[in-house]
A and B are shown apart, each in its own frame.
Chain A
């Protein structure tokens, strides 16, 4: 007999083998050589996690207890695979294009990324799947116990310890291969390959036992058929209600079970694999079920009454002394259990971590928590690992609590019914655009509640629901009896529960959907889901992977620049140890590329771009929003930049203007200094020259002597005048002049000016006045005003070139201003120089008149200080200046009225 130690050794060796297979597959996948890993056969075999220990061991037991009814468990998936593969294809396409990570994610995505919905589905899944995991643990333990009973050495065996270590070992395996890294697509090639191997092992084991039973024990097909006919299993007694219900449940569970969704949708590499799976998987199921009835019949025959029919697969070979075969059968059952537990734990951990732990962690961390992506990755991985451990712990606890007594199959069906509650929301979501989040929530809650009330609680044992409730209903409401809702009695409890929960679930879902309005994002997602084939590209063949890399290259060149992109790709080729210039599209490479691109265009955009090319996924609304966010940030940033650059440009312009002004002022200053220098040096030259003449020349005539002395005197006075003028101008220009404002009459000012100029003048300038207009009282600095008039009259006296020089002075009001015009009868100032007569040192006439050319400049400065102006009046016959000044006091006292 096989010793327990031997069994444990085989077990551990098998697990090590699985480890190696998974590890190699992961390595291969990392290198991008996944051709055979992604074959449709591997995909089909991975689907076989549908066949858990429940089906491996339980189907025989089921057959032994209920005859052919076990077929329904296989019938449901078969019908789905054959008759509804187009629906599965739609699911797979949606999963791919929306980067769905779990069934909870799918439902939540469809209904506007509702996390509430995701949490509901996750809780439902955890509650539904935990007993199922316990079931697997139980099956392993039971099989251990069979060997332990048969162990001649009588080795100590503790059931609890076994369960604990099995659970721990499976948790470690799931952690190691399910959460090794974070893949955006949540694909785990290692795990999938390992479970494909396990699928082969379990099929082979069951077939081997079957062949042994048929040919080894019964002596051939004919004899076996005869035995079957003889047993009561052969009696065809079909309860159509249960058949329909269980077939439906199996079909629904096949779609909705988290682990099935994981391998069928999430781990799917190519939706064309479904075509192969559509015939290969039913074939697999057929082979799995082929020998169930013979084994059951032979087991019932051979083994003592009261043996657990669930373990016939093990006990029949053992009873015949076929230890090797029994060991193989044990491995088959072990495979079934472990593959289911590992994938279920992975799928559930993804859901728990993504929809419950991470949102809580992120909100706990507050804003900014997600900005450090590396941080989040490690937290996600940790939360997944902890989730796996917790889920295994739950399964273990459930096993301990339930005591492991219940028949395996019934737990399975209870789980199935719970999970099936997701179906209406799921199908409605992918086929009906009118489905809303409220509807989905309503349906799920109703279905979940009914399931718990009518099936789960009663199924868990009488302790939880009192007998009274069963008999009379809660609070004596008989129509609410858990197994006879609305007074309909006589139904099988399972059929009853399935019927009411699914019916009311679907009804609630439909009605609430009809009467609620979807949010915009729900509407968008609904369209994306329902019309997924319009929105996403078809699958790409693996031969196309080179084309993909070329596309990536083209895109990268556009974003990073040709040289950068080529260098990046070449580095990757070298890292992969390949040749040529294009690397294989391995996850590592894609990750690196995405990171590089995100530096230029933002993480969300980079992800969407790479996903678009490699995954064939359509861009989801979330992606678009992220892209829009990034664009908005970029836009804001660039508009800030733009504003800054405008500001800089303005500052630069102001600086340039200031600089031009300064340059101009500097030029003016140079010119002014140069002029001053000239004006000073000229009289100095004469003074010096004649001084030297007077000193050095002996024998000068008296008149010469006196003339030269006069010249020196004149030039010295000219210098003095110049300096006076310069000082005057400087004071005026700097604004430091103090004005002595007082009231006076214009006539008096003019009288003073005329008499000053004409006094001692030999030139015959006639001044004509119109005294009527001059009787104006004004308030001004009268001395300065007189200075202006003196200057203008003196100019006329100097420059008027008429034969009989005449100056006409007239005063009048124009627009509230007092205007005094001084017009002579000379030839005036030529038009081209009129503009510059007021500039410093500007001299129009060739002849010198002793002035420094500052007179008019001073006049203008004075008038500006007095709030008026002096301008040249063009268009007059002679030289014409106009002095304007404000009538600061409104009292225009017409003194002439006196």
Chain B
């Protein structure tokens, strides 16, 4: 099992930060900045893990996640949700939509790394 991460995030600086962190941890990091075609990009790329921002231009992260879970081949894909709106409601919505992990911006780099590693480990065991 490889260590391939697809990061869907429209904020270029955040994208660069996460890419830097994960690359140094040995991950292959692909990025995508638009919500509109994100589902298709994920389906084609078939990463081991998806990091998904909630606020995306074109289509919200929640909708993308729901669509992913509706697809048979992607319904057990580990998804780490990122949001800048740290409200309880968003966390609930994300859990309902099927997020594997939920993280509020700003996060510490260690948190991200740990989350990504945990999710990957869980996915590998099952």
Contact = CB atoms under 8 A, between A and B. Distances in A.
Interface of A: 674, 677-679, 681-682, 684-690, 692-693, 696-697, 711, 714-715, 846, 848
Contacts of B17: 685-686, 689-690, 693
Contacts of A697: 24
Interface of B: 10-14, 16-18, 20-21, 24, 34, 55, 57-58, 84-87, 104-109
A754 B54 CA distance: 37
Contacts, number: 65
22 contacts: A674-B87, A677-B86, A677-B87, A678-B55, A681-B104, A681-B105, A682-B105, A684-B105, A685-B14, A685-B84, A686-B11, A686-B17, A687-B106, A689-B14, A689-B21, A690-B17, A692-B109, A693-B20, A693-B109, A711-B16, A848-B11, A848-B12
Contacts of A687: 106
Contacts of B105: 681-682, 684-685
Contact of B106 (A684, A693, A846): A684
A693 B108 contact: no
A830 to B, nearest CB: 13
Contacts of B34: 846
Contacts of A677: 84-87
Given A681-B85, A685-B84, 19 more contacts: A677-B85, A677-B87, A678-B84, A682-B105, A684-B106, A685-B11, A685-B17, A685-B106, A686-B14, A688-B106, A689-B21, A689-B107, A689-B109, A690-B13, A692-B109, A711-B16, A714-B13, A846-B57, A846-B58
A688 B105 CA distance: 10
A799 to B, nearest CB: 14
A692 B107 CA distance: 10
B84 to A, nearest CB: 4
Contacts of A688: 106-108
Contacts of B87: 674, 677
A696 B17 CA distance: 13
Contact of B84 (A681, A692, A711): A681
A693 B21 contact: yes
B5 to A, nearest CB: 16
A848 B16 contact: no
Nearest to A845: B57
A682 B109 contact: no
Contacts of B20: 693
B101 to A, nearest CB: 16
Contacts of A711: 13, 16
Nearest to B56: A846
Top 7 closest pairs, chain A to chain B, by CB: A689-B17, A686-B13, A681-B84, A846-B57, A685-B106, A685-B105, A688-B106
Contacts of A682: 11, 14, 84, 105
A684 to B, nearest CB: 4
Nearest to A692: B109
A835 B20 CA distance: 40
Interface centre among B10, B16, B57, B105 (most CB of A within 10 A): B105
B14 to A, nearest CB: 5
Identify whether the interface residues of A are mostly helix, strand, loop, or mixed. Answer: helix
Identify whether the interface residues of B are mostly helix, strand, loop, or mixed. Answer: loop
Nearest to A677: B85
Given A685-B105, A685-B106, A846-B34, A715 B13 contact: yes
A679 B105 CA distance: 11
Contacts of B14: 682, 685-686, 689
A845 to B, nearest CB: 8
B10 A678 contact: no
Interface centre among A685, A686, A687, A697 (most CB of B within 10 A): A685
Contacts of B58: 846
A684 B84 CA distance: 10
Contacts of A848: 10-12
A414 to B, nearest CB: 109
A864 to B, nearest CB: 29
B86 A681 contact: yes
A692 B11 contact: no
B85 A678 contact: yes
Interface centre among A686, A689, A693 (most CB of B within 10 A): A689
Nearest to B18: A689
A681 B108 CA distance: 13
A684 B87 CA distance: 17
A625 B76 CA distance: 88
Interface centre among B13, B21, B104 (most CB of A within 10 A): B13
Contacts of A692: 108-109
A802 B84 CA distance: 33
A47 to B, nearest CB: 98
Nearest to B105: A685
Contacts of A684: 105-106
A240 B17 CA distance: 145
B33 to A, nearest CB: 8
Given A674-B85, A687-B106, A692-B108, A846 B13 contact: no
Nearest to B108: A692
A685 B108 CA distance: 9
Nearest to A697: B24
A693 B108 CA distance: 10
A831 to B, nearest CB: 18
Nearest to A690: B17
A687 B13 CA distance: 9
Nearest to B87: A674
Contacts of A693: 17, 20-21, 109
B16 to A, nearest CB: 7
A692 B17 CA distance: 10
A684 B11 CA distance: 12
A60 B17 CA distance: 144
A674 to B, nearest CB: 5
B53 to A, nearest CB: 10
A155 B40 CA distance: 141
Contacts of B84: 677-679, 681-682, 685
A686 B13 CA distance: 6
A558 B121 CA distance: 82
B71 to A, nearest CB: 25
Contacts of B11: 682, 685-686, 848
B85 A689 contact: no
Contacts of A690: 13, 17
Nearest to B112: A689
A681 B106 contact: yes
A504 to B, nearest CB: 106
A751 B84 CA distance: 40
A791 B17 CA distance: 31
B24 to A, nearest CB: 7
Given A678-B85, A697-B24, A846-B57, A689 B106 contact: yes
Nearest to A714: B13
A690 to B, nearest CB: 6
Nearest to B16: A711
A686 B20 CA distance: 12
A696 B112 CA distance: 14
A687 B84 CA distance: 14
A681 B83 CA distance: 9
A690 B12 CA distance: 13
A692 B24 CA distance: 14
Contacts of B16: 711
Contacts of B18: 689
Contacts of B85: 674, 677-678, 681
A154 B109 CA distance: 144
Contacts of A678: 55, 84-85
Contacts of B21: 689, 693
A685 B105 CA distance: 6
Nearest to A707: B16
Nearest to A695: B109
A685 B12 CA distance: 11
